[in-house]
Amino acid sequence: MKKIIGIPFTNMEKEGWKLNLVETFSRRADIGCLNQRLYTCLLILCMVLGTTSQVRSDENITSLISSRPGQYDIRVEKDFMVPARNGVMLATDGWFPVGLDGKLPAILVRTPYSKEGHAAVRFAYYGYVVVVQDVRGKFNSEGVFTIMAHDAEDGYETLSWIAAQEWSNGKIATYGCSYSGENQILLAKLKHPNHTTMIAEAAGGAIWYCQQ
């Protein structure tokens, strides 16, 4: 297989690229489910958002959970307070690849499970800015937590905040599992212009979308 270097998905066939994840993973039956999920997500993000990093289809998947899997070091900026509606401030961490100039694509995770130590920060090693946020009323964020009550609007405000940052190129993906996937489905109905990609894992939130 050829290297995937951030060519948009719609251009892959035209460029003569091939991608067969089933074949790729069938040769690695001993690799854990988490590693496979992270690798699959990285490929999707690379195709849709683009990146300056090179991700090879024959790369060792286990490198995704090693201490430094990609080509960049990373730095973290803790506890940005992102304004949401009604004056509530949402605690947000940013993970940045070191040594990259210019504007970069971003990946947003909004979680009720604590933003500390989230696995998605691994994507920063590959040239993405990773933004992880405690949802309203959880951990360091202000407000009162009510299941699904504010997630669409708070997510929309956070996307707008990211898009306005000097380091953002305006392409933003959302990522997460369970509740962090369900709040993406709610967010999608608002059709934010910078919401380029969503990877909602193990999310049953479609029922919430249909009831709105």
Specify the pLDDT at position 16.
34
Model pLDDT for residues 192-201, shown as the tens digit of each residue? 999 998 888 8
Strand partners, 133: 92, 110
E strand residue ranges, 112-167? 129-134
CA distances from 181 to 92, 144, 175 (A): 18, 20, 7
How many CB atoms lie under 10 A from the CB of residue 182?
A: 23
Token pair, residue 14, equals: 């035209």
pLDDT digit string (tens) for 126-152? 889 999 999 999 999 999 999 989 999
Nearest to 125 by CA among 89, 153, 100, 143: 100
pLDDT digit string, tens, across residues 44-65: 666 566 654 444 333 443 444 4
Residue 31 above 50 pLDDT?
A: no
The four Cα atoms 72, 58, 6, 37 give a dihedral, to 10 degrees, of -80
| pLDDT value of position 141 | 97
Q: Comparing 176 with 161, which gets the higher pLDDT?
A: 161
Dihedral angle of Cα 187, 189, 193, 197, to the nearest 10 degrees: 60
Q: pTM score, two decimals? A: 0.73
Question: For residues 32 and 125, which has the higher predicted lDDT (pLDDT)?
Answer: 125
pLDDT of residue 81: 97
Residue type, 49: L
pLDDT in tens, 82-113: 999 889 999 999 999 998 889 999 999 999 99
What mean pLDDT comes out for the span 159-186?
94
In the chain the domains, ranked by start, together with CATH numbers, are 9-65 (no CATH), 74-211 (3.40.50.1820)
